[in-house]
Amino acid sequence: MKIIHGHDYYDSANYGIDPDIIFVRDEEVPKSLLDRNGALVDLPFNDQPVIVNTRWQDSVISKKHHFRHGFVFCAGDVFPVIRHTYVRSSVTMIDENINYYYDYDSAKAVYDKADYPEGFSWFDQGNTNLTRLHDHFAQRNPKWSEWLIKNGIVTGYYLPAMPQYNETLFNFNGPSLGEFQFYKIKDSFTANQDIAGYVGGVLPANENPMIELDDVHKIQKAGFDKVTSFRKSKTKRK
């Protein structure tokens, strides 16, 4: 598979995969997903906060631990994710460490270790948070894959805005899987193979853009050697 633009963790795992399949990581938002004001529309995802603590307005759970839910896209599948940020200071909001979790057990393990603020009670939001956390990973919607195919989305992510995070974060067809630690659930070869199969065999032909190859790639594609095939042979002088 030929990949145009950027670098992601699965890029080097191209062995044995059809080089004629081309994936252009243009990071452009499909026009079908934007309204006249440039806002995202037609998203089949849950925008409601998953982890909420109404008694502590400074953060989602505590001064040091912040949780945010979202969705990661890869090759026609949608993966619910939780982003956990450990913050050194609740005043300067300096990120100490960011990790992504793709299953309930691992996300809950971090949630359980969070430093709860004074006065926090499990009877306030704790049980509700865990229920929402479980439901976040349990949800599956057959319309997700249809939505990805319809809009030509191969990779990306979507993190909806929350009371603590006013900005919606999203990226479509960019080199973002490594940043979201997607290698925790798919190694580089599997991710590359899945993407190649999706681009070459699932997306409509018009979603697989034609790329004008340079002369070197045209020569190689035709089966010639760029060094020796067009070299003039030496002849002996008579």
pLDDT at position 188 is 94
**Total number of residues shown for the chain:** 238
Q: What separation in angstroms does the CA of 100 have from each of 61, 72, 124?
A: 16, 10, 26
Per-residue model confidence as pLDDT tens digits over 15-64? 666 778 888 998 888 888 888 887 888 888 876 767 654 333 344 444 57
Number of H helices, E strands in the chain: 5, 7
CA–CA dist 76, 73 (Å, integer) = 7
Q: Tell me the two tokens of residue 222.
A: 């035709």
pLDDT at position 58 is 40
pLDDT at position 146 is 92
Mean pLDDT of the chain: 77
* 223 falls within a domain: no
* 238 falls within a domain: no
Q: Flag whether pLDDT at 185 surpasses 60.
A: yes
* 225 falls within a domain: no
Per-residue model confidence as pLDDT tens digits over 206-218? 544 444 555 555 5
Q: Which residues contact 153 (CB under 8 A, 6 or more apart)?
A: 30, 73, 147, 172, 173
Q: Which residues contact 183 (CB under 8 A, 6 or more apart)?
A: 9, 177, 191
Q: What separation in angstroms does the CA of 238 have from each of 58, 170, 233, 234?
A: 91, 71, 16, 13
pLDDT at position 12 is 85
* 195 falls within a domain: yes
* 60 falls within a domain: yes
* 228 falls within a domain: no
* 216 falls within a domain: no
Q: Which residues contact 193 (CB under 8 A, 6 or more apart)?
A: 13, 17
CA angle 194-104-143, nearest 5°? 50
Give me the domain span that covers residue 59. 2-207
pLDDT at position 187 is 95
Q: Tell me the two tokens of residue 228.
A: 């020796």
Q: Flag whether pLDDT at 86 surpasses 50.
A: yes
pLDDT at position 55 is 35
CA–CA dist 83, 96 (Å, integer) = 13
Q: How many domains does the chain have?
A: 1
The three-state DSSP-derived secondary structure of 140-185 is CCCHHHHHHHHCCCCEEEEECCCCCCCCCEEEECCCCCCCCCHHHC
* 16 falls within a domain: yes
Per-residue model confidence as pLDDT tens digits over 101-138? 999 999 988 888 776 554 444 434 556 778 888 889 99
Share of the chain above pLDDT 90, in %: 33
CA–CA dist 154, 176 (Å, integer) = 11
Helix (H, G, I), strand (E, B) or coil at 109: helix
